[in-house]
Amino acid sequence: MEKTTPILYLVVPCYNEETVLPQTAPVFFDKLRALQADGRIHADSRVLFVNDGSRDNTWAVICALAQEDPIACGVALSRNRGHQNALLAGLMFARERADVTVSIDCDGQDDINAVDAMLTEYEDGCDVVYGVRADRKSDTAFKRGSAHAFYRLMTALGVESVYNHADYRLMSRRALDGLAQFDEVNLFLRGLVPLIGYRSSSVYYTRTARVAGKSHYPLHKMLSLAVNGITSLSTKPLKMITGLGLGVSFISLVMIVWTLVRHFSGLTINGWSSTMCVILFLGGVQLLCVGVLGEYIGKIYAEVKHRPRYIIRETTDEKKEG
């Protein structure tokens, strides 16, 4: 059977990137054209920009790029839905048009040349190829430490993920079909993609500094992403609560026995400090456990409503037709 050249869609989520896109878009275009010239991808391959409800002129820039160059196309979400939902929207849009996708951030930090190695792995039979950072030399010490803590925490709490991999990855249409079967509203694609289970591999690259603008993932968003990933993909925190409850109960039983022994021995004295310590300790444990339970209940509440994860407002194809 003759091997056909795959249609590749480069999926690029964008949020408030009007200063970045004019610099990184030509790099994406040049890479696809080089791959087309080498006969590795089909002439219908495209760079798909996904506007995640940006508050600046990002969508206007995307529309201008699509008008100037047929290799560019774009979709605009009806409102800001977050990076994970925007990325999913792009992947599902490309799934109907492409044989393979590569998702990449628009800030120019990920090495676009790693796509060549990803395609080689795809040609060898891999449905998923992860782009993995070879090191974190370009990060600050704080960023490097918080990132390591993030991945260690995810692993310790039972979330399967690829170390030092964000969302730079290749996925075949078969892998996208598998991803489409996951219906959860609370998305954490770094944890969902490994659950698909098809053959995968990794490509290592060096990440550089942003071309322009500021990172949209400060510490509080990293923490939020970690909490979302853990509570969406793992029940280990609930098991930890059970273990904590058993441990506190055992300590409480020992303290009750000790208190009774002291009482009947006539050695007890009235103490405010010890009473307050016990009350504050148990109160803190209870509030912590209620908080974790609340996270899971909130996830259940969001899932059972079956609200759409994103709504596409318009596409550049519609503008061209208009």
Element spanning 312, H or E: strand 312-315
Residue 3: the pLDDT is: 57
Distance, in Å, from the CA atom of 303 to the CA atom of 74, rounded to the nearest integer, reads 28
Closest C-alpha among 64, 138, 131 to residue 316: 64
Residue 34: the pLDDT is: 95
CB 226 within 8 A of CB 161: no
Distance, in Å, from the CA atom of 143 to the CA atom of 31, rounded to the nearest integer, reads 29
Element spanning 120, H or E: helix 114-123
Largest CA distance in the chain: 92
Reported as a single tens digit per residue, the pLDDT across 195-207 is: 898 999 999 998 8
Tell me which of 83 and 300 has the higher pLDDT. 83
Reported as a single tens digit per residue, the pLDDT across 37-65 is: 999 999 999 999 999 999 999 999 999 99
Distance, in Å, from the CA atom of 255 to the CA atom of 253, rounded to the nearest integer, reads 5
Mean pLDDT of 158-171: 80
Residue 99: the pLDDT is: 95
CB 8 within 8 A of CB 123: no
Q: What is the CATH number of domain 8-140+162-214?
A: 3.90.550.10
- Three-state DSSP at 102 gives strand
Classify burial at 297, counting beta carbons within 10 Å of its beta carbon; exposed 0-12, middle 13-18, buried 19 or more: exposed
Closest C-alpha among 238, 118, 128, 256 to residue 190: 128
Lowest mean pLDDT among 81-90, 93-102, 122-131, 259-268: 259-268
- Three-state DSSP at 172 gives strand
Q: Label residue 2 by pLDDT band (50, 70, 90).
A: very low
Closest C-alpha among 43, 25, 47 to residue 35: 43
Task: With a cut of 90, say whether residue 153 has pLDDT above it.
Answer: no
Report residue 131 as tokens: 């782009």
pTM given for the model: 0.74
Q: Label residue 289 by pLDDT band (50, 70, 90).
A: confident
Q: Label residue 147 by pLDDT band (50, 70, 90).
A: low
Strand 128-133 vs strand 165-172: parallel, antiparallel, or unpaired?
antiparallel
Residue 219: the pLDDT is: 57
Reported as a single tens digit per residue, the pLDDT across 236-261 is: 676 777 777 777 767 766 766 676 67
Instruction: Please state the length of the chain.
Output: 322
Mean pLDDT of 138-165: 69
Share of the chain above pLDDT 90, in %: 43
Tell me which of 139 and 251 has the higher pLDDT. 251
Residue 7: the pLDDT is: 96
**Tokens 């002291």 identify what position?**
262
